[in-house]
Structure 1
Amino acid sequence: MKSNRMEAFSDGVLAIIITIMVLEFKLPEGHDWKSLVYLFPKVLSYIFSFVYVGIYWNNHHHLLHMVRTMNGRLMWLNLLLLFWLSLVPFTTAWMGESHFAPTPMALYGIILTLASMSYWLLQRSIINQHPRDSHFHTIGRSWKAKLSPILYLLTVLTAYISPWVSGFFIVLVAIIWFLPDRRIEEFLREK
């Protein structure tokens, strides 16, 4: 199987994840601008999650262009990543409903930690398919991949101290990953 089939499936799942998140919005009871104020926590949690799903989609797209041979291991690791990302709408809705209470924030951090670990496993598996290609191993040594789980764990730990501090770490990781790994783009140009 070619990687474009797995990429198309993943794109569909990620599109559904975003759709589910936006469907969580309920119409306000009033008909004026003031009625929208109570939606602010839900909108903010939606923005967090939309950006995260977009970051995963973008980086996943770049990563799958490096795949030369598809195998069952890659397919299962990809499904593991999609599993954790499919839980993002639940935690997004819970954060918004609870106005960023500690437990929903902690669970959001846990889900993001597990998604990042799954992405790392998928990346490692793709890199390991090419043991003699130094370009692949250079890509695997990303400071982003090493720092992100630490920041996600800080998200979980600080959720019970201050949801705002926890949110800061969520935003910080998003900023770090906003641009895809340029080394992948360079590698693809050289290919």
Structure 2
Amino acid sequence: MNKNRLEAFSDGVLAIIITIMVLGLQMPNELNSETLWSLFPVFESYVLSFLYIGIYWNNHHHLIHTVTHVNGKILWANLNLLFWLSLIPFCTLAVGKFNFDSISMFLYGINLCCCGISYAILQHQIIVKHGKNHLLYKAVQKDVKGKLSVIGYIIGIAFSFYYPWISGFIYLAIALLWIIPDKRIEKIINENNK
């Protein structure tokens, strides 16, 4: 099967996710410093989630660039990733509405952890389909950043019950770790084209 439909569908779903998140930003009935300040947690959670969606979109683009053909397992792994990403607007709204409290940070961490695991499953299915001589395997065979991210999410989830602000810091730190696009795949593709 051709990868174009998978890529187009994924791009469309991610665009809808961002649209849903921005619709969660409600304008107050009055504009003054007090009402604007009350919106700060909502805006802060939106920015963090937008950053995460952007990171996943960017890395998904690089990931799919290595794919020549897809099969049912890759399609289902991709849908699994999109499912967890589609829950980010709900978790973002919870974090913003309940001002980064323990339960909302727990939910946000669980969601991010599931996204990270789902991305790893998608990578694995692509490697299984294309073999160990494939570009993706060469690029991500150790995947230290991916494993550290999932471990970080689990630590953030544990802290959410006692110090939710530490969870928020961990989730932000992981996003900053990934904000620079992952060059491993680009590097392998460039080396292969020489």
TM-score under structure 2 length normalisation: 0.93
Structure 1 Cα separation of the partners of residues 132 and 189 of structure 2:
17
1:175 matched residue in structure 2: 176
How many equivalent residue pairs?
191
Structure 2 Cα separation of the partners of residues 39 and 97 of structure 1:
9
How far off is 1:30 after superposition?
1.4
1:162 matched residue in structure 2: 163
2:187 matched residue in structure 1: 186
Structure 2 Cα separation of the partners of residues 30 and 73 of structure 1:
51
1:129-183 deviation line (CA, Å, top 9, x unaligned): 2324164323231110111111000111001111110001101110111123212
Specify the SS of the correspondent of 1:77. Answer: helix
TM-score under structure 1 length normalisation: 0.95
2:103 matched residue in structure 1: 103
Any stretches of 5+ residues in structure 1 without a counterpart?
none
2:63 matched residue in structure 1: 63
Structure 2 Cα separation of the partners of residues 37 and 68 of structure 1:
49
1:2 matched residue in structure 2: 2
Question: Percentage identity across aligned positions?
Answer: 47
**Structure 1 residue ranges, 4+ long, deviating more than 4 angstroms after superposition:** none
1:132-147 matches, within 5 Å, as 132-133=132-133, 135-138=135-138, 139-147=140-148
* Residue 135 to residue 28, structure 1, CA distance change in 2 (3 Å): same
How far off is 1:72 after superposition?
0.7
